[in-house]
Every structure is written in C-alpha cells, then in structure tokens.
Amino acid sequence: MAMDILEAPFMQELIRTCGSMYRLGWNERNGGNISMIIDEGEFAFLGNLPILRNFSISFDAKDVAGRFLAVTRGGSYFRNVEIDPAHNLGILRISDDGKSAGLLWGFTGEGQPTSELSAHIRSHTARLRQDPHHQVVTHCHATNTVAMTYIHELSDKAFSHTLWQMESECIVVFPEGVGVLPWMIQGSDEIGKATAAKMESYRVCIWAQHGVFAAGGSLDEAFGLLETVEKAATIYIKIGRGGIMNTIRDHELKSLAEAFKVNYRKDFLSL
C-alpha cells in the first residue's frame, strides 16, 4: 500500500516540486514547506488506513474536518524529499471534530508535520471559501522577493503595483495583487492567523524578511505564482535601486488586464 502511495501521480508531482524548489535555491536547509489537499476519490483506501499517530491542532479546524493532506515534515530538507519521501512527507487526516490530525502514512522515525501547520490549515480554510477547487499551499524563501522586502514599502498596494510594473504577465497571473505582512515570528499561531486573513483576498502572501506563501488549485498553479512573483522581484532588485527610467505605466497595466479579461484590483492603480 505504501508503494501505491509513492506511485500516485499527486505524490510524484509533490516529490518533483520539492526537488525543483530546492534546486532554485528557494528552500535551503529545512526552510519552507508544502501542504496539498488530496481528493479521497484519487485513493479511496485512504479513509481505511489506520491512524499511526495523532497531532493536536491548536485551533478549531472543523472547516477542513475529514480532509486528507499531504504535508512536508518539520525540520526536513527539501533536497532529501526525492531520496526518501516516506521520511520527509506525510499524509494526514483532519479529525471530524477538527481538533487533531491523524498520521496515515509517512514521517518515519517519529517525525512531525511542518511547524507552519497552523498557517497551512488556516490558509486552506481561507482559500476554500474563495475557491472550491483550491488544493495547494506552498511556502518558500524566494531570494529576491525576500530581498525586496528590505528596500520597498510593505503595503499590499505598493508592493503589488511595483511587481505588476516589472513584467507584463504579472497583472495577468496575479490580478488581485499580493498581500504583505510585516516581520513576525514564524511557526506561531499569530502568523498563521495573519496569513489566512491575507489569503481571503490574495493567493500570494509575502512575509517580510522571511519568505512567500502561495496557494493554488494545483501544484503547477501555486508553483507558477511563486515563479512569477520571484521573477518580478528579481527584475526589481536588478534595476530598482539604480533608478527606473522606463516602466509599464498604469494606463498600460489597465489595457493589459482588460486585454486578458482578468478582474484586477483597480484601486491599486492611479488612473
């Protein structure tokens, strides 16, 4: 049965994504984490697997009660996921009362879920309210996006506007903009609640001086959001502080959004 899980398409894609994020330099050491809602229909036997261990949840997670989640291990190195997925990944089932998560597979050697489990579960809850097809929450330390938080105003509007101006596809890929949080202690319930609050309006939440959370209906969508934000931040870091002579102007951003028929944040532009 364990072999069946490892051969499942969702698990193979999760393993590949962890490797890609490590090789991009976004998930050094044990930095970053991923969680993915698994449709029980993909593996009907998941509901019949015995619970190996239980992990308490520090808040009421009844909105995702009964959901199955594939989650990265706390303290695991993304570079090792491809080598030993059963050690570095786990499959959890949220209890019917939303007070605990039962381990069905993985986390060999007494492993625990990511320390950011609060931010993940809360973000899943927030995104499911906005998008019933939501599935994935990712967190990484995308280098240039983090660097940008040291030298740029940390408001949703200003940060989103600058990212939109850096590359023509940005307003099309994330027309709602991005949410930005000030520096907070990672792994706390406070940052989990703050991230989920941003996820009510955005699929991307940037943690100043730390990293990025991105959500999507698939691993491809969430990973693509991260790539696009990081590309825009990279361009800004390369040219922003040297003085920008040319940029995509607000009326051109409006034309872009209208050409691709996306519902963008009009209040983020000065028109």
To the nearest 10°, report the CA torsion of 234, 238, 244, 248. Answer: -30
Give me the residues paired with residue 234 across strands: none
Same domain assignment for residues 69 and 146 = no
Residue 75 CB neighbours (<10 A): 12
Tokens of 223: 């990973």
DSSP assignment of 31-76, as one string? --EEEEEEPTTT-GGGGGSPP-EEEE-SS--GGGTT-EEEEEBTT-
Same domain assignment for residues 141 and 88 = no
**pLDDT attached to residue 59:** 86
The pTM of this model reads: 0.90
Same domain assignment for residues 104 and 127 = no
Same domain assignment for residues 88 and 191 = no
**pLDDT attached to residue 241:** 67
Same domain assignment for residues 18 and 136 = no
Same domain assignment for residues 4 and 105 = yes
**pLDDT attached to residue 242:** 67
**pLDDT attached to residue 118:** 87
Same domain assignment for residues 5 and 80 = yes
Q: Is the CA virtual torsion 222, 228, 232, 234 positive or negative?
A: positive
**pLDDT attached to residue 248:** 84
Which one of 83, 115, 147 terminates a domain?
115
Question: How many domains are there within the chain?
Answer: 2
Q: How far apart (Å, rounded) are the C-alpha atoms in residues 99 and 97?
A: 6
**pLDDT attached to residue 43:** 78
Q: How far apart (Å, rounded) are the C-alpha atoms in residues 269 and 254?
A: 8
Q: Which amino acid is at 11?
A: M
Same domain assignment for residues 150 and 256 = yes
DSSP state of 200: T
Give the CATH number for residue 69: 3.40.225.10
What residue numbers bound the domain in which 235 lies?
A: 116-271
Instruction: List the chain residues with pLDDT less than 70.
Output: 1-3, 241-242, 245
Q: Which residues are catalytic?
A: 116
Same domain assignment for residues 41 and 163 = no
Same domain assignment for residues 3 and 92 = yes
DSSP state of 98: S
Which one of 115, 137, 168 terminates a domain?
115
Same domain assignment for residues 70 and 163 = no
Instruction: Decide: 93 and 101 in contact? Cβ < 8 Å.
Output: yes
Which one of 80, 115, 150 terminates a domain?
115
Same domain assignment for residues 261 and 141 = yes
Tokens of 39: 């449709």
